[in-house]
Structure 1
Amino acid sequence: MSQSPEDLSFSIDSRLLEELGENLVTKNHVAVAELIKNAYDADATRVELQFINARQDNEGRSEIRIKDNGVGMTYDEIDENWMRIGTTDKVRNPQTEKYGREKTGNKGIGRFSCRRLGYRLELTSIAEDPDSDQYIKSYVEFPWSEFARNTDVDEIPVESEVEYLENADTGVTLRILDLRDEWNQRDFNTLRRNVLTLSVVQQQRREGYKEDPGFDIVFDAPEFDQGEGSLLDQVYDAGWCEMQGMFNENGDIELSIEGKKIGKRSHTIKKGYDGLDDTDFKIAFIPKDKKHFRDTSTLSLERASEITGEYGGIRVYRDGFRVYPYGGPDDDWLGIDRYYSRRIGSPDEEFDDLSGKMDLHNDFNRTMLVHPRNENLIGRIGVGTDANLEMKTDREGFKQNDTFEDMKEGLRLALQWLTLQYSNYLSIRQKEEFQDQAEDFLEQVEKSKGGSESSDGDNTEQGGDLRLLMKMG
């Protein structure tokens, strides 16, 4: 008589972790980008990345440390989501719980990215305890080398500790130790470009959720160029220019700009605007042409198009909070594009004294034809605490008054001054291009001097004319 065998069940060989880690996530910069996305998906407002001996130039321990201030994971969440291969959590919950962000991570790849990057992982997570007023601190250590082939995953113990705290800041810290790859500058630059669009996420509201304060990516990697500071600041530094300004106590606007080929410049618009003390602004101009970028290692044309298309425009903040609806590519509250579409060439009479004092790419009365569009400006205005601006009763914008109109006028004038500096830059560039073309032509003339006597005379005359033009240009 036959007997019924026991039910069959699948088991998972540790080799699967290798396939999902080293083979699915093939590039080190892709792996780190996935972990940054995980921080964003955890409703973090800030993630810090520290690279220690990532180039492996000495025998010291190499490490990448990623720390966020998101909601963290409880011990049970680590067990049910992080430790579960093929979890459907992001499929079941495509929006984050706190801010309603559309989740960006690649459905469970993050943990395998850690294996791809290093031989050991230490995970520390602090989260609110849903069953008490305390916080749960969980520590888990993953020695990936012990997950050898021909071993079932569930047979390999993973050390962990749990501690309950009365007060703590939530978030996750990943220490990826003994890196598998040596990082180089190209890897690091590619990483920064891959997460640029997350770095420019600004404060915004989504119906049914808390207001999203935005997301800041900060690097502490001094062994690389552009390896320190906020990635958002690096975006501001990468376009053609960054302009900063402030309405001082006299109501004048103190301006400074740093741009490609023109360096640092300053100017004061003396208008005596009243009621805008300590209102300041910061605006970056990102043209739609890569040749005008100051830093192409940070900003590619593709990423620039994504950033300006989604986050272009000048937003308004007061006391650290965004004032809606001002700002964004679809809210041209300053009327920049209306100005642009009218093909106005002349700057305001405020700048008449600059006529004839600057080399411009066009006639002075046609310089405004290259005025930036709204979407090519990334900026924010911080309204002074004591500014004479009053919110509407529904909290949607400021009430219209003379101070609000003065602020708009002052910002438009500041952008006209920026445009004049850009025109000067275009003039400098035109001259340099002419010089390069002339030098190339002279080089060809020199090479062709082996021709006839009459040809030599013509070439010599042409060369002399070009050298004269080059000196004049």
Structure 2
Amino acid sequence: MARIKVRARAVDMLGRQQIAGIPTAVHELFKNAHDAYADNVRVDYFRADELFILRDDGIGMTLEDFEGRWLTLGTESKVGANDPGKRVWTGPRKATVRAITGEKGIGRLAIAAIGPQVLALTRSIRPEGLGSLVVSLIQWGLFEVPGLDLEAIEVPVVELQGDALPDLEVVTGLADRIRANISHLGDQIPADMRQRLLSELDMADFDPEAIYSQIDGPKLAGDNFGTHFFIRPTNPVLADDIEQSDDAGSEATPLEKMLLGFGNTMMPQSGEPPISAQFWDHREDGISRDLIGGAAFFTPAEFDSADHHIEGEFDEFGQFTGSVSVYGQPARQHTIVWPDSSGRPTECGPFRLRFAYLQGLLKDSRVPPDEWARLSGKLNKIGGLYVYRDNIRILPYGNSDFDFVGIERRRTKSAQDWFFSYRRIFGAVELTHARNSNLVEKAGREGFRANRAYREMTSMLENFFERLAIDFFRPTSQFGSEFNSMKAEINQEAKLLAKRATKTKERQGEFKTELDTFFTSIEKGHPTREAERIRAMTEERLSAVATIKSPEAAADALLNAEADARRAVAALEKSITVIKC
């Protein structure tokens, strides 16, 4: 009887070759941390050492979990994890039950995209207490060797009791076991691949205990628990994914496109996302910065400051019911019918939509000029319509170059009629596993499968944006009086400000001319010569007064000389006085 056999290369094909890129792989590992009920997940990338560390403070894995689930392909450990009513232990912090984001095992295999070998450390916490520390070194390059059977590759694992951390001796011991495995396989590994594998193993010469003492974030010593990965060397592409492109930072980097907004933090009144994610880039020049934390993504304050706000629900038949606020005015309740509704519940299920919109021209916006310029720059980089399921981002939705609802395609036909521009939008489609289970992600995390549920959702959204523009944002719109009148007022204010700015500029020009004339006159000595002329003229007239015999005539001449001198001095003072406009 014939049987299906699995070669070792299947692991590489299902993992590294399946993932779109390193940022996608990191995103998958973030999701694994979420599923492990971590509150925090943090990356530290040390460029000079080619060392990538990802740590979470989730519930970790026992030795049985690690060998029976993490190192086993196609397990059923997460299958049915989102079934209603299933009892789940959420850790000692008693976190709210979370919808599990993955069940295909892509995350652990995706590590190979970040680097060719990983030191995995995990300590479990269970109702019965803290577990021992499980340590393993995995050389992913072995899974690239043609012709090797899966069972021919050894993955060394050790279990450390107590609160001890692995030191350099433990790590090099694991590396030696892999070297022995490579030696045993002999000529089954091509010479060039063997040399590469051994060179990479030489880089497994670090001391995790010493590294922990130098970095902040989740730990595994003492009463701490979680799962940590030390990846060295790293894929050279990682540095390129972080660096700004040649556009002086006006476009988002690959890492920003995939990791910003991992949790939905942009919406007011949404509450904190279930997990906080950080990515610290430690550069060779000594500068360290978090690339995805803080205000790198959109904030609730920025959301509130936009020109227009729309939010509402699509029901199970595709009809939108919600509110539309134009230029910060009181929201109007509005309904948009989906013309393709068959009268039966949709496959995609009901979902929520919330987004803000910033006018593309400053003269049409109520946002102050400085804030408008800053927010416009941010929108040009990361603006778009994101998709979240249970508050965790689904890739690649939200990328400024992934317009999945065809807004720019329609706008190209007629900007005036379609109004919306994809990069001026920031907001999200909000899904849940409970209501939208038929929207299924592709294995490589490149969006949803194009099944009936997905086609329904995109059709509903395309119709929504089309009708919204028709109903509110055209000169002839049924509900457009508020938008058009306020836009006209804002335009008029912009014109007045521009006119005022022009006058100010003209006055500034006049002032500059006067200033230039003043300094030129000073440099040429004109005021000094004029003062000397006035003095000489006055002395001459006073001498002439002394020769006049009639007291009355002498007095008149003296008064006239004084008056003329005063007028000349006043004229001189005026000529060297500059008054700011």
TM-score, length-normalised on structure 1? Answer: 0.48
TM-score (norm 2): 0.40
Q: Which structure dedicates a bigger proportion of its chain to strand? A: 1
Radius of gyration: which is bigger?
A: 2
- From the two aligned structures, give the one with the greater helix fraction: 2
